[in-house]
Amino acid sequence: MRPLSGTLWEAVLDDGRTVMVKRGDRRDAVRAEAAGLRWLAAADTVRVPGVLGDDERWLVTERVATGAPGAEPAVRFGRDLAALHAAGAPGFGAPPPGGPEEACIGLAPLRNTVGEDWPRWFAEHRVLPYLRAAVDAGTVRPAEAADVERLCARLPGLAGPAEPPARLHGDLWNGNVLWGADGDVRIIDPAAHGGHRETDLAMLALFGCPYLRQVLQGYEQVAPLAEGWAGRVGVHQLFPLLVHAVLFGRPYAEQALAVARTAL
C-alpha cells in the first residue's frame, strides 16, 4: 500500500483495481462514513465512490481518477446536488440508515440527534456544543460567546422560510469535492445527516469551491433557493467555523464571531 496521509492509503487489489483504504481512528467513524456514502449513493444523484468493504476500523472505496474543474461539470454538479437534497431525510439530524448517532465531522465528534424544528435543532445540536467546547479550550472568551448565544436565540427569525429536511453531505468543503477525469464530480468523506440544504451550499462557499457561480446556477435550475438565501450564508457557516475553532484555534473563532456579529 502507498501511504497518502496518516490514515489514508492507495492499494492495488489482486485483480488490478486501485482502491482507497482509510483507517478510522475515532469510535464508529468508519461505520458513519460507510453508511453516509451508501445513503448518498442511494439517491442516485451526485456520484460518490463505491464502498467495497468496511469493518470497525477500515474502509475500502473505489479510487477516483481526478481531472481539472470546469464550468460544465460545475453546472451538472449543482443540478445533482439539488436532487440529492430533495431526496430528503426523516428529520433534522437524522443519521443515515445504519449509521451511528455518535458520528464525526473531520476529527471532531458529531452527534446526530433528531429534531423537527431547524432553527432550534441547529442551535442546540450544531452551534452551541462547539461554542461551549471552544470556550472550555480558551479559544473563545465567555464574553464573546454571548454574541453567538444571542444569534442562536434569534435564529427563528433569521432562518428564512421553513423547509423540509434535506439529505446533506454535511462536510461539503472544497477538499471533499473531486472533479473526475471523466467530467463527473464525486463527493467524499461525508458527515451525512438530515439538515437544511443551505448548509451544504454555505460550506462550499466557505473554503472556495471552483466555479461556485456555475454550481449555484445549476442548483437553482432544479430547486430555486428561498428569497434572502445569500444573506443567510454566514448563519450556516457558523457551525463549520466553530468546529474549526475547536480543532484549529483562534483564527477560526474570530471568523465565527465576525459572522455572528454581522448576522445580528
Q: What share of the chain is helix, strand, coil (3-state, %, to 5)?
A: 45, 20, 35
The band of 206, judged by pLDDT with boundaries at 50, 70 and 90, is very high
Answer whether residue 2 shows pLDDT above 90.
no
What percent of the chain has a predicted confidence (pLDDT) above 90? 91
A 10 A CB-CB count for 2 gives 10
Structural domains of the chain, count: 1
The CATH number of the domain holding residue 197 is 3.90.1200.10
Report the pLDDT value the prediction gives residue 241, as an integer from 0 to 100. Answer: 97
Distance from C-alpha of 80 to C-alpha of 33, rounded to nearest angstrom: 20
Residue 184, in any domain of the structure: yes
Segments forming the whole domain that contains residue 194: 65-263
Cell output for 206: 466557505
Residue 210, in any domain of the structure: yes
Answer whether residue 154 shows pLDDT above 90.
yes
Active-site entry in 54, 147, 171, 200: 171
Report the pLDDT value the prediction gives residue 14, as an integer from 0 to 100. Answer: 85
Q: Name the average pLDDT for the chain.
A: 95
Residue 72, in any domain of the structure: yes
Residue 52, in any domain of the structure: no
pLDDT tens track for 101-140? 999 998 899 999 999 899 999 999 999 999 999 999 999 9
Answer whether residue 1 shows pLDDT above 80.
no
The band of 66, judged by pLDDT with boundaries at 50, 70 and 90, is very high
Residue 145, in any domain of the structure: yes
Answer whether residue 205 shows pLDDT above 90.
yes
Is 171 a known active-site residue?
Answer: yes
Residues counted in the chain = 264
Residue 30, in any domain of the structure: no
Nearest Cα to Cα of residue 23 among 40, 13, 11: 11
The band of 84, judged by pLDDT with boundaries at 50, 70 and 90, is very high
Residue 57, in any domain of the structure: no
Report the pLDDT value the prediction gives residue 263, as an integer from 0 to 100. Answer: 87
Residue 126, in any domain of the structure: yes
Phi, psi for residue 239 in degrees, rounded to 5: -60, -55
| Dihedral sign of CA atoms 103, 104, 105, 109 in order | positive
CA dist 51 to 42, 85, 205, Å?
A: 12, 21, 28
Distance from C-alpha of 251 to C-alpha of 54, rounded to nearest angstrom: 36
Distance from C-alpha of 56 to C-alpha of 39, rounded to nearest angstrom: 18
pLDDT tens track for 216-233? 999 999 999 999 999 999
